[in-house]
Amino acid sequence: MSTTNPAVRYSRGAIILHWLIAILIIGNFVGAWVSEDLPRDQEVVVMGYHKATGVVILLLTLVRIGWRLFNNPPALVDTLKSWEVALAKVTHALFYALMLIVPLAGLGLHSAFGKGKPVSLFGLVDFPALPVGSDKPTIGLFHDLHEVTATAMLVLLGIHVLAALKHQFLDRDGTLARMSPFGR
Ligand code: HEM
Ligand code: HEM
């Protein structure tokens, strides 16, 4: 069967996890940006959701990587040029790495700043802090790591979305349909 056939789709589990994590990540960016302009008491509430959602993203990413190890994705569309194949593979691998590093750096920052206080997951359950120091250099390290890796993730998202739009509207090769939650 030709891999250009849009029917060659990711599995239902991979599609659900892809979109769930994507929505949560985008929501977490918006939350972080919005919180900057809020009065202190509201900022604390929004950042509480930011941290809890970030931990959920981390846990879902572990499920996603586990799923990926046991379920091979469909072969890439066979009309892709070699540079497109290379870019797709690098982008996807970097995404998986950043989906772990960004929330871990955030958790490190929270742990260092909060002196080991756990993260409350929406008031339901506590998630343990990382065993890190709470000195200024450690706080600074995790702060910079969180900021730089989140920025890298945003750049990657831009490339990823542009690629999806190029395949959808210029190449018309059914790439988006492979990951679409709508359809069989
Ligand atoms: C932060 C948000 C997102 C993250 C972290 C993300 C991550 C990923 C990853 C890691 C893959 C590779 C899946 C694998 O082979 O294991 C993938 C595939 C894909 N993503 Fe995203 N994605 C995001 C948002 C989006 C958005 C907004 C779109 C559409 C506009 C999109 C469209 C696609 C498509 C079409 C594929 C399949 C590519 C193929 O055929 O191989 N993604 N995404
Ligand atoms: C994929 C998940 C996450 C994304 C995309 C993300 C993204 C961001 C962004 C864009 C900022 C603003 C950066 C800045 O200008 O300093 C930020 C700040 C912050 N994030 Fe996250 N974050 C995530 C997960 C987490 C987690 C899991 C925690 C803690 C448990 C966390 C804790 C923080 C804290 C404490 C700040 C404030 C930093 C400051 O004000 O200096 N984040 N995050």
**CA-CA-CA-CA torsion for 66, 70, 71, 77, nearest 10 degrees?**
90
Please list, in sequence order, all residues whose beta carbon lies within 8 angstroms of the beta carbon of residue 31, skipping any fewer than 6 positions away: 46, 47, 49, 50, 53
Please work out whether the CB of residue 107 comes within 6 Å of at least one atom of ligand 2.
yes
What is the mean pLDDT for each group of 10 consecutive residues in the chain (184 residues)?
57 95 98 97 97 98 95 89 94 97 98 96 98 97 98 97 95 92 78
Cα distance between residue 97 and residue 53, in whole Å = 18
Residue nearest to atom 39 of ligand 2 (CA): 143
Q: Is the CB of 102 under 6 A from ligand 2?
A: yes
pTM listed for this prediction: 0.95
